């Protein structure tokens, strides 16, 4: 894979005009010089350190009790919406100043949440609920304060849980078209997850792998392209979940992938896995039988 830059200067023939065609043009110097840690898949993770990434979004709350994603005993068409993020890196990251927004303009019914100072451990998960009309038990933080001690919320598998404290039904994610944009404190557009009845936007297309250290290209509109863009399918009975943290991941139906409508606080895909790993934890141990994916509907 690696090009050796020295090849460019060796064997340069004097005065021969035909040879230069063999010289590899425009070797990406940064890539060539960048050492890859042995046994680490860090370089393949879709978002470069120190950014978190969006792992699950519930934008259309299922009807009835099945929609009570925040487990406060009642379903709220807005309040139970949530965005889940994961730290896909080997090191802890600081969430202070990271912002989640939808596609509305600021001040015009925009969903907007900015994290207070809080650390997210490697592999750890944080969930941000819309929070409208919600009553809470256990540690839940907001835009001003991180979750009070003990911090981790056992109701959500020990994840960090936040509420946007939205109070208007207009401030919610659209069911048939909208986005969640994760932006870094320096305004870098990190991860855009969007859905639409009309399909993916031409300039975005499917997920592309973001090379660490390489600045994002510009969209046709002249805006910086997010490091990762995911077009996700419309869902009415469940959330969408990214099936991996690597560049080639994609969002799929949570119901089809996991057999449950959503899992705020639990990222079910192992770090670095392209596909969902065998759920060995949830299987009864010692059956001895190797169950393959039979594709049971
Ligand atoms: Ca609820
Ligand atoms: Ca989840």
The CA 208 to ligand 1 mean position distance, Å, reads 35
The CA 130 to ligand 1 mean position distance, Å, reads 10
Burial classification of residue 293, based on how many CB atoms lie within 10 Å of its CB (0-12 exposed, 13-18 middle, 19 or more buried): exposed
The CA 276 to ligand 1 mean position distance, Å, reads 28
Smallest-distance ligand from the CA of 258? 2
What CATH number corresponds to the domain at position 238?
2.60.40.1260
The CA 159 to ligand 2 mean position distance, Å, reads 10
Q: Which residues form the domain of 258?
A: 44-276
The CA 259 to ligand 2 mean position distance, Å, reads 12
CA distances from 157 to 34, 77, 127, 249 (A): 37, 23, 11, 23
The pLDDT tens digits for 49-94 are 999 999 999 999 999 999 999 999 999 999 999 999 999 999 999 9
Q: Tell me whether residue 240 is in a domain.
A: yes
Mean pLDDT, the chain, as a whole number?
A: 78
- The residue among 32, 8, 28 whose CA lies nearest residue 20 is 8
* pLDDT for position 230: 94
Q: Which residues surround ligand 2, an ion (CB under 5 A)?
A: 56, 84, 263, 266
Q: Tell me whether residue 71 is in a domain.
A: yes
- The residue among 60, 48, 288, 57 whose CA lies nearest residue 184 is 48
Smallest-distance ligand from the CA of 135? 1
> What mean pLDDT do residues 225-239 have?
94
Q: Tell me whether residue 18 is in a domain.
A: no
Q: Tell me whether residue 296 is in a domain.
A: no
pLDDT band at 119 (very low <50, low <70, confident <90, very high): very high
Dig out the tokens for 174 from the structure.
Answer: 């659209």
Q: Tell me whether residue 291 is in a domain.
A: no
Examine the pLDDT at 293 and tell me if it is beyond 60.
no
* pLDDT for position 14: 42
Q: Tell me whether residue 22 is in a domain.
A: no
Q: Tell me whether residue 24 is in a domain.
A: no
Q: What own/partner pairs with CB < 8 Å and gap ≥ 24 does 283-287 have? A: none
Smallest-distance ligand from the CA of 84? 2
The CA 235 to ligand 2 mean position distance, Å, reads 15
Examine the pLDDT at 15 and tell me if it is beyond 80.
no
Number of domains the chain contains = 1
* pLDDT for position 123: 93
The CA 6 to ligand 2 mean position distance, Å, reads 47
Q: How far is Cα 287 from Cα 215, in angstroms, rounded to an integer? A: 49
Please, are residues 257 and 276 in contact by the beta-carbon 8 Å criterion?
yes
Smallest-distance ligand from the CA of 55? 2
Q: Tell me whether residue 150 is in a domain.
A: yes
pLDDT band at 26 (very low <50, low <70, confident <90, very high): very low
| CA dihedral sign of residues 16, 19, 25, 30 | negative
User: Which residues, in sequence order, are bridge partners of residue 28?
Assistant: none
């Amino acid at each position: 894979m690696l090009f050796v830059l020295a090849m460019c200067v060796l064997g340069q023939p004097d005065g021969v005009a035909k040879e230069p065609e063999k010289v590899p043009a425009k070797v990406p110097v940064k890539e060539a010089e960048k050492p890859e840690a042995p046994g680490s898949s860090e370089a393949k993770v879709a978002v470069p350190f120190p950014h978190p990434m969006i792992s699950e979004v519930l934008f259309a709350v299922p009807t009835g009790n099945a929609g009570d994603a925040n487990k406060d005993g009642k379903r709220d068409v807005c309040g139970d919406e949530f965005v889940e993020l994961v730290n896909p890196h080997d090191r802890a990251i600081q969430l202070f100043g990271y912002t989640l927004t939808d596609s509305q303009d600021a001040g015009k019914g925009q969903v907007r949440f900015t994290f207070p100072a809080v650390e997210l451990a490697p592999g750890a998960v944080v969930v941000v609920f819309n929070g409208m009309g919600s009553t809470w038990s256990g540690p839940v933080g907001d835009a001003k304060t991180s979750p009070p001690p003990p911090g981790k919320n056992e109701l959500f598998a020990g994840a960090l849980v936040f509420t946007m404290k939205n109070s208007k039904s207009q401030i919610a994610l659209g069911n048939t078209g909208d986005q969640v944009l994760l932006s870094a404190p320096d305004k870098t557009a990190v991860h855009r997850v969007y859905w639409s009845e009309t399909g993916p936007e031409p300039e975005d297309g499917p997920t592309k792998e973001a090379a660490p250290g390489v600045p994002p290209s510009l969209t046709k509109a002249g805006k910086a392209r997010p490091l990762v863009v995911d077009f996700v399918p419309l869902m009415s009975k469940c959330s969408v979940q990214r099936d991996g943290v690597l560049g080639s991941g994609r969002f799929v139906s949570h119901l089809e992938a996991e057999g449950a409508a959503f899992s705020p606080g639990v990222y079910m895909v192992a770090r670095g896995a392209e596909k969902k790993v065998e759920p060995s934890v949830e299987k009864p141990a010692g059956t001895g039988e190797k169950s393959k994916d039979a594709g049971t509907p």
